[in-house]
A and B are shown apart, each in its own frame.
Chain A
Amino acid sequence: MKLTSARTQFCSWALLLALLAGWELASRGSGVSALVLPAPSAVTKALWTGLSTGYLWPHIRTTGLELVLGLFTGCSIGFISGVAMAESALLQRVLKPYVVVSQVIPKLALAPLFIVWFGFGMTSTVVITALICFFPLMENTVTSLQQVDPQRLELFRMLGATRRQTLLRLKLPSGLPGILAGLRVAVVLALVGAVVGEFIGASQGLGALIIASQGMMDTPLMFAVLFVIAALGLLLYQVTLAVEKRLLLPYTRIS
Chain B
Amino acid sequence: MSFLDIDKVSFTYPGWPPVVRSVDWSIAEGEFHCLVGRSGCGKTTLLKLAAGLLHPHAGSIRLQAQEVVAPGPQLGFVFQSPTLLEWHRVIDNVLLPVSLQHKPTAQEVEKAQQLLALLGLSAHAQHYPRQLSGGQQSRVALARALILEPALLLLDEPFAALDAITRGELQDDLLHMCRLRRTTVLFVTHDIAEAVYLGDRVAVMDSGRIVQDIRVEVSKPRAPAIRYGATFNLHCAQVRDAMDMATL
A interface list, Cβ under 8 A from B: 149, 151-152, 154-161, 165, 169-170, 173-174, 176, 250-255
Q: Which residues of A contact B87 (CB under 8 A)?
A: 173-174, 176, 250-251
Docked CA distance A255–B132 (Å):
8
Q: B25 at interface (Cβ–Cβ under 8 A)?
A: no
28 example contacts (A-B, Cβ-Cβ < 8 A) are as follows A151-B79, A151-B80, A151-B81, A152-B83, A152-B85, A154-B79, A155-B77, A155-B83, A156-B100, A157-B53, A158-B53, A158-B75, A159-B96, A160-B70, A160-B71, A160-B72, A160-B100, A169-B85, A170-B85, A174-B85, A174-B87, A176-B87, A250-B86, A250-B87, A250-B128, A252-B130, A253-B128, A253-B130
CA distance A254 to B97 in the complex (A): 25
> What is the bound-complex CA distance between A152 and B77, given in angstroms?
12
- Chain B residue nearest to A247 (CB atoms) is B87
- Check B39 for interface membership: any CB of A closer than 8 A: no
CB-defined contacts of B83 to chain A, threshold 8 Å? 149, 151-152, 155
Nearest-neighbour CB distance to chain A for B129, whole angstroms, equals: 8
Min CB–CB distance B2 → chain A (angstroms): 23
Beyond the given pairs A155-B83, A169-B85, A251-B87, 16 more chain A to chain B contacts, judged by CB atoms under 8 angstroms and listed by A's residue number, are A152-B83, A156-B100, A157-B71, A159-B96, A159-B100, A160-B70, A160-B71, A169-B100, A173-B85, A250-B86, A250-B87, A250-B128, A251-B86, A253-B128, A253-B130, A255-B131
User: Which B68-109 residues have a C-beta within 8 angstroms of A?
Assistant: 70-73, 75, 77, 79-81, 83, 85-89, 96-97, 100-101
Report the separation of the CA atoms of residues A156 and B80 in the bound assembly, to the nearest whole angstrom. 15
Q: Which B residues touch A156, using CB under 8 A?
A: 100
In the docked arrangement, what's the CA distance between A169 and B88, Å?
10
Q: Cβ of A174: which chain B residues have Cβ within 8 Å of it?
A: 85, 87
- How far does the alpha carbon of A160 sit from the alpha carbon of B71 in the complex, in Å? 7
Instruction: State in angstroms the CA–CA spacing of A195 and B82 once bound together.
Output: 48
B204 close to A (CB within 8 Å): no
> Known: A149-B83, A170-B85. Contact between A158 and B71, CB under 8 A?
yes
CB of A250 within 8 A of CB of B79, answer: no
B51 within 8 A of A: yes
Interface of B is mostly: loop
Of chain A, the residue at the smallest CB distance from B80 is A151
Bound-state Cα–Cα, A159 to B89, Å: 18
CB neighbours (8 Å) of A170 from chain B are 85
| A251→B131 CA distance, assembly (Å) | 10
- Residue of chain A at shortest CB distance from B98: A159
- Bin the interface of chain B by size: 20 to 34
Q: What's the Cα separation between A152 and B88 when bound, in Å?
A: 14
Cα distance, A250 to B84, chains bound together (Å):
12
Residues of B within 8 A of A251 (CB): 86-87, 130
A250 — nearest CB in chain B belongs to which residue?
Answer: B128
In angstroms, how far is the closest chain A Cβ from the Cβ of B204?
Answer: 26
With a cutoff of 8 Å between Cβ atoms, the chain B residues found around residue A255 in the complex are: 131
Q: How far is the CA of A170 from the CA of B51 in the complex (A)?
A: 21
Q: Which residues of A contact B72 (CB under 8 A)?
A: 160
Q: How far is the CA of A250 from the CA of B130 in the complex (A)?
A: 8
Contact A161 B100 (CB under 8 A): yes
Report chain A residues within 8 Å CB of B89.
Answer: 250
The answer to whether A159 and B130 touch across the interface, beta carbons within 8 angstroms, is: no
A151 to B77, CA, bound (A): 11
- Which of B75, B79, B88 has most chain A Cβ within 10 Å? B79
Complex: A169 Cα to B97 Cα, angstroms: 12
Nearest B residue to A172, CB-CB: B87
Top 6 nearest A-B pairs (CB, nearest first) are A158-B71, A250-B128, A173-B87, A151-B79, A151-B83, A250-B87
Q: Which residues of B contact A152 (CB under 8 A)?
A: 83, 85
How many angstroms from the CA of A156 to the CA of B87 in the assembled complex?
15
Rounded to whole angstroms, the CA-CA distance of A170 and B72 in the bound complex is 18
Contacts of B85 in A (CB 8 A): 152, 169-170, 173-174
Contacts of B79 in A (CB 8 A): 151, 154-155
Distance between A141 CB and nearest chain B CB, rounded to angstroms:
17
Residue on A with the closest CB to B86? A251
Nearest B residue to A254 via CB reads B130
Please, which residues of chain A bring their CB within 8 A of the CB of B130?
250-254
A34 to chain B, nearest CB (A): 55
Known contacts A159-B96, A159-B97, A176-B87; is A254 also within 8 Å of B77 by CB? no
| Min C-beta distance of A233 to chain B, whole Å | 30
Q: A154 — nearest CB in chain B belongs to which residue?
A: B53
**Whole-angstrom distance between the alpha carbons of A253 and B130 in the complex?**
7
How distant is A156 from chain B, measured CB to nearest CB, in Å?
Answer: 8
